[in-house]
Structure 1
Amino acid sequence: MKRITCLFISAFFLAGGIAYAQGEMDAYKMSRNELNGTARYLGMSGAFGALGGDISSMSTNPAGLGIYRSSEVVTTISLSSAKTNSDWNGTSVDKSKTRFNFDNIAYVGYFPTGNDEGIVGWNIGLSYNRVKDFNRSYRMNGAQAYSVADYVADLLYGTDKNDLRYGDKNYDPYFDSSISWLGILGFDAGFVDNYAGNNKEYHSAFGHEKDGEWLNYSPQNVNLLVNEKGSIGQYNISFATNISDRFFLGATVAITDLDYTLSTEYTEDFTQNSQLRLDNGLSTDGTGYAFNIGAIVRPVDFLRVGVAYNSPTWYKMTDYFHGTAGTTINNQDWNTQNTPDYQSGDYRLRTPDRWIFSIAGVGQNFLISADYELTNYKRMVLNDVDGYELRTTEDVKKDFGMSGTLKVGAEYKITPQFSVRAGTLWKTSPMKQHVKDGIPPKNEKGEFEVDAIGIVGTIPSYTVDKGTNSYSVGLGYRFTPNFYMDLACVYRVYKEDGYAFPSTYQAGISDIDKLLDEGIVVKSDPASLKTKTTQVALTLGYKF
């Protein structure tokens, strides 16, 4: 039962011409929002849903454009440093990356009507905003009981080895079969062997036979290096209006451009001068569109209340993929094996939508604001070009739920020219508890499923979100009535668990104690990851 499920999952991905597409953790990575915008917006941790008056409102609550009483051009640059610490079974490693970014440029046009009541003015906004930065590096180093070779052996259970080899010139197992790509690559590279006289059962090639029983070796040193780079850029066209200085309405149409590159280097060292190597490269290109609508109400002069709806982003995606693997067993090298250089067919990703509820108090020299965002990541969907849902969508529904983000910010004017700002942000993980615990969900029969996390392609590593906190400070100075400068510093802590590969379990178990005591087939230990990012942003603006 267990192995049949594994093969079914592989077949679902490979059928229909998509041999590689995003897994559920990849879909989340592309859908997850980050704090990004002008320095003033960053200095108050993005709590602008009810305040407005900042170009970053185009990406959240476009009604904020209606607050403007003049036209404006603005641009932002930033320097960010991301340092990731990993702790894997007591072994700690640091890895860091620093990068200079061009974050945004925007124009807001204000067109007054001359009325004191009714429609007081119209606003139009045009902007480019870098809404997400993927750039970081991290390394996991340690030891654990099971090898990725054990995972590949379990993944291949029930697959005839003759279906894994290149046969005649018209047969290619990567494209002419429903077998997992990681299984094919691992078999070709010598990760696994067959049990004697059995072409459909496999064991890790790293071990020895004793009294007729095969005993697997545990890797003595495991090293995973991950490099990520790329960004998501958003081009916005926004419209807003001011009704009697009490009601502000706005809408944004957004075109999104996604560029993501991942490279991984993975090694396991065993006794007896043996080693396993698995390297992967992935590039993802995507274009998408979305819309935002919002409203701000000012019932009294010092109070503003806002609400906004941000639609999903509907992406069209393409992947470029390559994997390489090899082994050394008892000082004998296998030939290094490669997957085909593969470009996937187009597929589609729909990110989750989100609601933003905001409140702000505005005084003569100060303001304070709070936003609360609700995002249902269970609504992520991956389809093929014909609209049929990929298996990943079912994984998403089982493993993801709601995420809440609370932003609080404040600003105080020390003089009419000089302002200070501060803010904080808390974001919860949308991943369900069984994902955080590293165990599988239960099926309709109340039995635990066999795989904790489903993967596609030949990249078995993934991370599990454990929540984000950030703290911000900022300064603003107005040189003239028209020209100003803002500066902000944001310190962000993002916690994750990192896995070298998924765990697998026996089928038919409904008791958690039995699952953990007797039901483990392959166990992957998590590494604790903590990414600390320091971002310094500078915004220059001109009002006219």
Structure 2
Amino acid sequence: MKNILILSALFASALFSNAQSVSDGLLYTGQDLNGTARYRGLSGAFGALGGDLSAIGSNPASSVVFTNNYAAVSLGILGSDNTSNYFGTNTITETSDVTINQAGGVLVFEGPENKTVSKFAMSLNYDMTRNFDNSVNARGTSPISISQYFLNNANGIALDNFIVRTGDGETVGDLYQFLGQDFGFGAQQGFLGYESFLIDSTDDSDLDNTNYVSNTGTGSFNQDYLVQTSGYSSKFSFNGALELNKKWNLGINLNSHVISMERFTSIEESNSNTDASITDVRFDNTLFTEANGFSLQLGLIGKLTENLRIGATYESPTWYTVEESQIQEIITRGTNSSEVARVRPDVLNIFAPYQLRSPGSVTGSIAYIFGKSGLLSLDYTSKDYSQMRFSPDNSDLFRNNNQIINESLERAASIRIGGEYRVQNWTLRAGYRMEESPYANKNIMDDLTGYSLGFGYTWGKTILDISYDHSERDYSQQLFDTGLNTSAGVFNEMDNIVFTLGFNL
């Protein structure tokens, strides 16, 4: 990224891009099944159980269930398979990754005898809440060209704004930067299309002309669309909890959230249309996202009887400050294959920071303990996704996003069921989960279903837990927000193996 010019004046209200969309808001704020192998072995059904470091992230009262000081670290192996269908053509992509996805510890303190506070605990835990390492490839023959994306952005902007004055020492990067600062992201897209000969003015002699035409002709277009993401979102939980009268546990989490993601999107298009002067196109975008956020949780666990427990958790919205930047490049080839146009402005667009508020949630839990032989547990969570919000409110883009959120997102529930059976030093685990789609229209995103298996072995003060979990979901991958707004159907399968090494201290 040599000689990159830094832009600092691209206002969010002027943007018209795949960034800062409703689907991005859900991607940034969503959480996968995460945490220790024991937690994942029960599919996260720990709201009324506690006694696990990742369970603290579900219910803050969990920390005081520990009987002694404890620390653990978890290693995760991720596998993600995506099968896309784009105009009848199936394409499979696979991604794998190895991460440290959990680390933390808890300190437990016994209270004075015959006092209301019989025990209290403090803990610090890190969980990777989402691994963004993923790849989706969609290939097929479309009736719509990528040129329509550039046309939609160029129409309405005078040709005079797309002419590079090389005689005055102006460069492609200079004009691209000027358009971003004075006209917005959409004008930059129109300029890329014009400068690469993908689109032309309907009247080259009129510098005030605002109408453009495609050079890819009419007919069909062979397209190869790729989106690759990498990075993570994580949560640091600072926890405190009390045990009252050896029956009721109360806890609070103060959570710090971090998002770091890079997304590369590329589309390659070719055609053999007789009226086309441009036959091949490649358009690349790289988006960088960094965000920090804060949330809090309140939790309760109660022992109704020696065997029956209940739990309740309130999780506040998470308030994020998001910063994004982007770099672009387009390459086209004409009917004379030796003629190639490459437009790389070498300008990094830095978008104005914005705020994103994720929806809060409430969870109710119940568990039954079969003495020392095992347990069954169930969690039910409700989250109103229509409460997600972009700001500042004076942005046209964010007002539009919030309107889409109100119209297309709804309250969704998730159910997690888990069980554990102990045989001497061994523990066997299994779980099931179902998460409803946040969309009212499930053609955009369907429900997620998953199951898990696991086991643990204890020797001395050391515990080794291993889990496997699988989940699957159908969703729609839209290529661009305007012009080429066709979609590929994607069937996503995720498989995770997690190893947790724990130590009773």
What is the TM-score normalised by the length of structure 1? Answer: 0.82
**Which position in structure 1 is the counterpart of 2:475?**
496
Q: Deviations over 1:276-296 (max 9, x none)?
A: 211010111112221111111
**Which position in structure 2 is the counterpart of 1:103?**
101
**C-alpha separation between the residues in 1 aligned to 2:184 and 2:383?**
35
**Which position in structure 1 is the counterpart of 2:295?**
290
Structure 2: where are the runs of 5+ without partners? 1-9
SS of the counterpart of 2:142?
coil
**C-alpha separation between the residues in 2 aligned to 1:300 and 1:101?**
40
Answer whether contact 1:425 1:469 (CA < 8 A) is retained.
Answer: yes
Answer whether contact 1:165 1:173 (CA < 8 A) is retained.
Answer: no
2:490 pairs with 1:529: yes
Answer whether contact 1:383 1:389 (CA < 8 A) is retained.
Answer: no
In 2 relative to 1, CA 99–179 (structure 1 residues): closer, same or farther, beyond 3 Å?
Answer: closer
Deviation >6 Å, runs of 4+: 385-389
SS of the counterpart of 2:34?
coil
In 2 relative to 1, CA 325–426 (structure 1 residues): closer, same or farther, beyond 3 Å?
Answer: same
In 2 relative to 1, CA 205–11 (structure 1 residues): closer, same or farther, beyond 3 Å?
Answer: farther
AA of the residue aligned to 1:124: M
Answer whether contact 2:13 2:395 (CA < 8 A) is retained.
Answer: no
**C-alpha separation between the residues in 1 aligned to 2:163 and 2:58?**
52
2:317 pairs with 1:312: yes
CA positional deviation for 1:195: 3.3
Within 5 A, what are the aligned runs for 1:181-200? Answer: 181-196=188-203, 199-200=209-210
AA of the residue aligned to 1:530: F
Q: Among 174, 181, 192, which residue is 2:180 paired with?
A: 174
Q: Deviations over 1:168-211 (max 9, x none)?
A: 7697212111461433322332332233588223332211xxxx
CA positional deviation for 1:500: 1.7
The CA RMSD over aligned residues, in Å, is 2.6
Q: Among 358, 368, 373, which residue is 1:361 paired with?
A: 368
CA positional deviation for 1:140: 0.7
CA positional deviation for 1:466: 2.3
In 2 relative to 1, CA 164–432 (structure 1 residues): closer, same or farther, beyond 3 Å?
Answer: farther
AA of the residue aligned to 1:251: I
In 2 relative to 1, CA 113–52 (structure 1 residues): closer, same or farther, beyond 3 Å?
Answer: same
SS of the counterpart of 2:402?
helix
Answer whether contact 2:123 2:238 (CA < 8 A) is retained.
Answer: yes
**C-alpha separation between the residues in 2 aligned to 1:528 and 1:319?**
27
Within 5 A, what are the aligned runs for 1:160-171? Answer: 160-166=158-164
2:409 pairs with 1:400: yes
2:347 pairs with 1:340: yes
Q: Deviations over 1:37-84 (max 9, x none)?
A: 100000000000111111112211111112111111111111111121
Answer whether contact 1:292 1:308 (CA < 8 A) is retained.
Answer: yes
The size of the alignment, in residue pairs, is: 476
**Which position in structure 2 is the counterpart of 1:446?**
none
**Which position in structure 1 is the counterpart of 2:133?**
135
**C-alpha separation between the residues in 1 aligned to 2:100 and 2:109?**
29
**C-alpha separation between the residues in 1 aligned to 2:53 and 2:413?**
23
**Which position in structure 2 is the counterpart of 1:14?**
14
Answer whether contact 2:75 2:498 (CA < 8 A) is retained.
Answer: yes
AA of the residue aligned to 2:328: G
Q: Deviations over 1:91-135 (max 9, x none)?
A: 111111211110111111110113356211001111121111101
AA of the residue aligned to 1:127: N
**Which position in structure 1 is the counterpart of 2:330?**
325
2:435 pairs with 1:427: yes
CA positional deviation for 1:523: 6.9
Q: Which moved more, 1:37-46 or 1:57-66?
A: 57-66
**C-alpha separation between the residues in 2 aligned to 1:182 and 1:410?**
54
**C-alpha separation between the residues in 2 aligned to 1:416 and 1:271?**
70
**Which position in structure 2 is the counterpart of 1:447?**
none
CA positional deviation for 1:21: 5.6
Give aligned-pair identity as a percent.
23
Within 5 A, what are the aligned runs for 1:242-261? Answer: 242-261=243-262
**Which position in structure 1 is the counterpart of 2:6?**
none
CA positional deviation for 1:147: 1.4
**C-alpha separation between the residues in 1 aligned to 2:290 and 2:129?**
16
**C-alpha separation between the residues in 2 aligned to 1:286 and 1:523?**
29
**C-alpha separation between the residues in 2 aligned to 1:541 and 1:337?**
51
Q: Which moved more, 1:338-347 or 1:301-310?
A: 338-347
What is the TM-score normalised by the length of structure 2? Answer: 0.88
Answer whether contact 1:259 1:285 (CA < 8 A) is retained.
Answer: yes
**C-alpha separation between the residues in 1 aligned to 2:250 and 2:269?**
57
Q: Which moved more, 1:166-175 or 1:235-244?
A: 166-175
SS of the counterpart of 1:465?
coil
Q: Deviations over 1:216-247 (max 9, x none)?
A: 2321x100122111011222110011112221
Q: Among 33, 41, 44, which residue is 2:42 paired with?
A: 44
AA of the residue aligned to 2:434: W
Answer whether contact 1:224 1:265 (CA < 8 A) is retained.
Answer: yes
AA of the residue aligned to 2:216: F
Answer whether contact 1:174 1:184 (CA < 8 A) is retained.
Answer: no
Answer whether contact 2:148 2:484 (CA < 8 A) is retained.
Answer: no
CA positional deviation for 1:152: 2.8
